[in-house]
Structure 1
Amino acid sequence: MGRNIRKRRSPLAVKVVAASAAIALGGGGLLWAQMNASAHESNDAAQNYTKAAAATVATIACPDVGQKLTNVPANAKQGVATELANLDKQITEAYARLASTRQAQANDANFVQNAIVGPLKEKRSATIDRIRIDITRVGGTFDSSLAQLAACTTQSVNQTTAGQGGGQNNGGQNNGGQNNNGNNGQASAAPSASASAPANIGGQAGNGPVAADFVDITKVAANVQGKPQNGAQASTGSFTTRCGVNANKNHNTDNVIVAPGVTNGAHHEHDYVGNQKVNAFSTNNSLLAAPSSCQNQSDLSAYYWPVVREQDGSQEFDANALGGGKEGNVGKIITPVQAQIKYVGSPASKVVAMPQFLRIITGDAKTTTNGLANANAHWSCTGFENKVQLTQQYPICPKGSQVVRTFAFQSCWDGVNIDSANHRTHVAFADPASGVCPNGFKAIPQLTMRLVYNLAQPSIVNGQVKNAYAVDGFPEQLHKAATDHDDFISVTKNNLAAKIANCVNTGRKCQ
């Protein structure tokens, strides 16, 4: 589209040092590498393994085909979405094989390429070709260069530690003082992976997080800059909708936006508030007919995000299920103690009402292998939110402080589409310095969320993290903080969308 509209993030977003990774996901269940070398144990049991395999492959990195699809005909969308979900499933299966064959890898330097990466490329080639057929048979145009995205690579532990820092400025996206290498505010106290550290020690399930994924927030320099000044046409009001914290434990591992009709399309658990009947098979009509957890019953919007878990050894309800324990998402699911959902205005202009069924995804669940171009995670602690926001690490909060996740969604809409083929190009972030939307886009009320958690305080002992917590994610993404993301479908009744816009435009605080 000629603009970096997909890559801009809110002014809060600041990246801190990239985290290191560790994995092991066994076939049919979970295996800790080198027989239980977990993040809650000493390094001693894994020392011999580490010396023999210091450069062990940490994860599989595959090009994200879905992000390259910008024009899919309506009649092909369901077929394409199904095939994209198949690509995710193939990566998950390959990652499981990678993690369960460590001895074979140690014995044969070509094992990963011959037995895992090579066969994965063949499967992906066939799937991408089916996407081509789905698009072209209804008259669409397929970019033949996408066939080159079939090949995957592998990342070592050190690559997942340091391979994401460079070149994330993205044409002026220097949000809140972020410098070009993405490490402004890096805390020197944060441990990092090295060739002498065990390659597979991260987390209760063996696929993260690791010590370098955490940082003492009191040791991070302030990195939050001010917001743009309000102009003469600024829309300064707000609308707060109260929808609860998912105390009723409404969870599933679907994602109807990116994988409609595909069970377990997300490969991780979500919390749902607002609309209470959201799953892979939801339709616009079923969303309109569903109950809502919101106090304002005209708000039927779907608000959902990956759950946070304490990796305390607990066996949750999904310990033996896909999307849960079978895919490396383990530990006790923690319900937020607060969930504030608020729509705010633009510093540069009035806003137009959100269209019915508008879909927005903010952040990227695959930053460990995609890179940080679309990352939009914000982690902080109560008492620090106006000073420090983290993207690439989880905060260790001081005693009496709570962990805070904040989301600031795209606030510019193309005025036509309620979704796009890659679920990004129909919306955009405003310029972080001026608040102005890109050419051709209109300002809409900006959806913001603030989730607060009571979590056990992590600590780093002998290079390992105790009391670790992490967001759910795709297993090969290693539970990195930067993979945090949020999903939204706007569904309203009784002219609520217009009322929200009116409150924002007239400077009122409504709820």
Structure 2
Amino acid sequence: MSATTVAARARGLLLLGLCLVLVGILAAAVLGVARSAGPVSARRVADGTGGPVDLRAVPADPPAPAPGPDASTGRVRVDCGRNAEEHYNQDNLVVSPGLPGGAHHTHSYVGNLSASARSTDGSLAAATTTCRGGDRSVYYWPVLRRPDRPAARPYERSAGHGNTGAILREASVAIEFLGNPVSKVVPMPRFLRAVTGNAVAATARDDSLVRARWGCASLPDRGTTSYPRCPPGDPITRTLLFPSCWNGLDTDSPAHREHLRFPAPNGVCPAGTFPVPALRLSLAYDVPAGAPLALDSFPEQRHGPKTDHAMFVDVMTDTAMARVVECLNSGRTC
């Protein structure tokens, strides 16, 4: 073997040794970082935001605008129970009608007991309902889970897409229709579709569509778009307010938002729209202190609390809606 060949092999062995040393150093560094970081908490994995917010440290909301002389100051409450019937599915009849499983996460329903992706106006009008007084409207929202608890029921296991764990049952569900602080309201058209919130808020370019409001039952004057930390024994709340300025023409629109818009902070509706009853859903949950939470969502949204959203289909009869409007415009509580 020539001296040249021996020298070349020596250089090759030297380079290989250096590479092995560098790989070892890099691996040790990565391992050290991982160890120093410590374990990732279940809550951090669940909410994708780094943890809950102590609501007692959140500033109180600014006062609501004083009602004007033409305000509709009444309030109507509809009792539809709290889904004791276990009406759950992965459909979204407003956003993806005709597509079973189109939501990719599980929704909880009250009201119309037939609601599914295959629902039509006719099938909704003919169905039974959980609401007292016969309101057949559809009210629904994504479920809230405890990822530290196993899913035991079929409807808890059927969503997939990273939505796992036991579903937290609502301790209470309040459905209210409110008026407008500057104007009388006009009736909603039957079969109006409505959406509030942004299901893809975690990856959206801005928060313009975010309507999530999480809170604590004893602190109704403050809210957050994060999971809240509440005083001991205090239920966690979700409040979902729907747009209430209607274009006067359509019951739906291509993106399900153009026909219904939110009023300005002072209550004034955008030009070309008319105030209709403002739907507000208020959900409460009994959650043990420190329990991790995970809102059902699309996988890339990482269960982010600001992706909270809800949908509504008005199936009230024209007579029932007229009673709602009359109550709101006369300033009564019904």
Normalising by the smaller structure, the TM-score range is 0.7 to 0.9
Alignment deviations for residues 263-306 of structure 1 (CA, whole Å, 9 cap, x no partner): 11111111100101111100000000110000111x11000011
Report runs of 4+ in structure 1 exceeding 6 Å deviation. Answer: none
CA contact (8 A) 1:305 1:485 kept: yes
CA contact (8 A) 1:213 1:394 kept: yes
Match of residue 369 from structure 1: 203
**237 and 50 in structure 1: CA distance in 2 versus 1, 3 angstrom threshold:** farther
Q: Secondary structure at the match of 1:342?
A: strand
Counterpart CA distance in 2 for 1:203 and 1:345 is 41
**201 and 253 in structure 1: CA distance in 2 versus 1, 3 angstrom threshold:** farther
Match of residue 51 from structure 1: 30
**367 and 240 in structure 1: CA distance in 2 versus 1, 3 angstrom threshold:** same
The reply to whether residue 215 of structure 1 matches residue 194 of structure 2 is no
Which of 211, 220, 228 does residue 385 from structure 1 map onto? Answer: 220
Aligned residues with identical type, % of pairs: 38
- Max radius of gyration: which structure? 2
Match of residue 443 from structure 1: 275
Counterpart CA distance in 2 for 1:361 and 1:381 is 24
Q: Secondary structure at the match of 2:108?
A: strand
Q: TM-score, normalised by structure 2?
A: 0.86
Alignment deviations for residues 67-115 of structure 1 (CA, whole Å, 9 cap, x no partner): xxxxxxxxxxxxxxxxxxxxxxxxxxxxxxxxxxxxxxxxxxxxxxxxx
CA contact (8 A) 2:47 2:295 kept: no
The reply to whether residue 338 of structure 1 matches residue 172 of structure 2 is yes
Q: Secondary structure at the match of 1:416?
A: coil
- Per-residue deviation, 1:260: 1.0
5+ residue gaps in structure 2?
1-26
CA contact (8 A) 2:245 2:260 kept: yes
Which of 308, 323, 330 does residue 499 from structure 1 map onto? Answer: 323
CA contact (8 A) 2:156 2:165 kept: no
**314 and 226 in structure 1: CA distance in 2 versus 1, 3 angstrom threshold:** same
Count matched residues.
307
The reply to whether residue 482 of structure 1 matches residue 317 of structure 2 is no
The reply to whether residue 407 of structure 1 matches residue 269 of structure 2 is no
Q: Secondary structure at the match of 1:501?
A: helix
Alignment deviations for residues 241-278 of structure 1 (CA, whole Å, 9 cap, x no partner): 00000012110000011111111111111110010111
Q: TM-score, normalised by structure 1?
A: 0.57
The reply to whether residue 316 of structure 1 matches residue 152 of structure 2 is yes
* Aligned residue type for 2:261: A
Which aligned pairs between 1:113-128 and structure 2 lie closer than 5 A? none
The reply to whether residue 453 of structure 1 matches residue 285 of structure 2 is yes
CA contact (8 A) 1:213 1:481 kept: no
Counterpart CA distance in 2 for 1:341 and 1:225 is 23
Kindly report the root-mean-square deviation, in angstroms, between the aligned alpha carbons of the 2 structures: 2.4
Which aligned pairs between 1:10-159 and structure 2 lie closer than 5 A? 51=30
Which of 299, 305, 316 does residue 141 from structure 2 map onto? Answer: 305
- Per-residue deviation, 1:437: 0.2
* Aligned residue type for 2:91: D
CA contact (8 A) 2:198 2:307 kept: yes
Counterpart CA distance in 2 for 1:249 and 1:49 is 51
